[in-house]
Amino acid sequence: MKKFRIAFVIFALSLLVAFSAFADEAKVIKLPEPEKSGGIGVLDAIAARYSAVDFVDSEISQQDLSTLLWVAAGINRADSHKITFATAMNLQDMIIYAFTKSGTYKYIPENHSLELIAEGDKRVLTGSQPFVAKAAVDLLYIQDAAKWDSLNFKAPAESILQCGFSHAGLSMQGVYLYAASKNWGARTRMNFDREGLKNLLNLTDKHNFTLMICVGPVK
C-alpha cells in the first residue's frame, strides 16, 4: 500500500509538471517570419508619414503584426543580436508590449514571439482619447532600467530616462514608416493609465514609462 501511495504521488507530480509546462507553452505565440523586403520606398514613406486619429476598430493579420513588431524592435542581423533601432551602448533596454483587441502581449525579439500577459481587450488603459481604444495595435515602450546596472559606472537616473525616451522615439520612427508603407496611420502618445498598466504588467520601480504609439488601418 505504501509503495502504491508513493507511485501515485510521483505520477501526480509528473502530471503537474507536464501541465505546467504546457500552460507556459500556451502563453507563448511564435510569430511567422516577418517580411523584410517590399513596400514603398523610404522617401515615399517619409512623405506619407502622419499622425492619425481616424483609426478603424479592426484587427490586423498575424503576418502584419509579425512585421510590425520586427520593424519596432526585431533582430535585423543574422550573425548577432543587434536590433532595428540604436540604443546607448547597445543596452537594448526597451520592452515593448502590444495591446490588441484579443489580448496584451510582451514582444520577445530573441525568438520573435509574443508572451501572453492578459487575455481580452485592454487597449483602453493605453490612453483616454477614443481613438486609442480603436487602433488595431497599441505599442507601449517600457524602459528596463536594470540593464544599466551592468555598466562599470553609475549613470544618473535622469540620463537613463532621457535615453529611454530617445530609444522609444528611434523605434517609433520605423513604426511610422512601416505604417505609411501599409497605408495605415500611427500616432505617438505619452498619456496613459500608468497605475492600471503597472498592475497589469507587474512592473517594478526599475521599469520606466516612456512613450506609446497607436498603429493600424484608418478610415
The model's pLDDT over 103-119, given as tens digits with 9 standing for 90+, comes to: 999 999 999 999 999 99
Cβ-contact 185, 215 below 8 angstroms: yes
Q: What are the residues facing 116 on neighbouring strands?
A: 105
The average pLDDT across 14-34 equals 62
174: closest CA among 31, 95, 40, 70? 70
Q: What is the structure's pLDDT at 81?
A: 87
Radius of gyration of the chain (CA): 20
Residue 193 has pLDDT above 60, yes or no: yes
Q: What are the residues facing 3 on neighbouring strands?
A: none
pLDDT (tens digit, 9 = 90+) per residue, 73-90?
999 987 778 999 999 999
Q: What is the structure's pLDDT at 122?
A: 97
Q: What are the residues facing 114 on neighbouring strands?
A: 29, 107
d(CA 121, CA 175): 22
E strands within the chain? 28-30, 94-99, 103-108, 113-119, 137-144, 185-189, 207-216
The average pLDDT across 117-141 equals 96
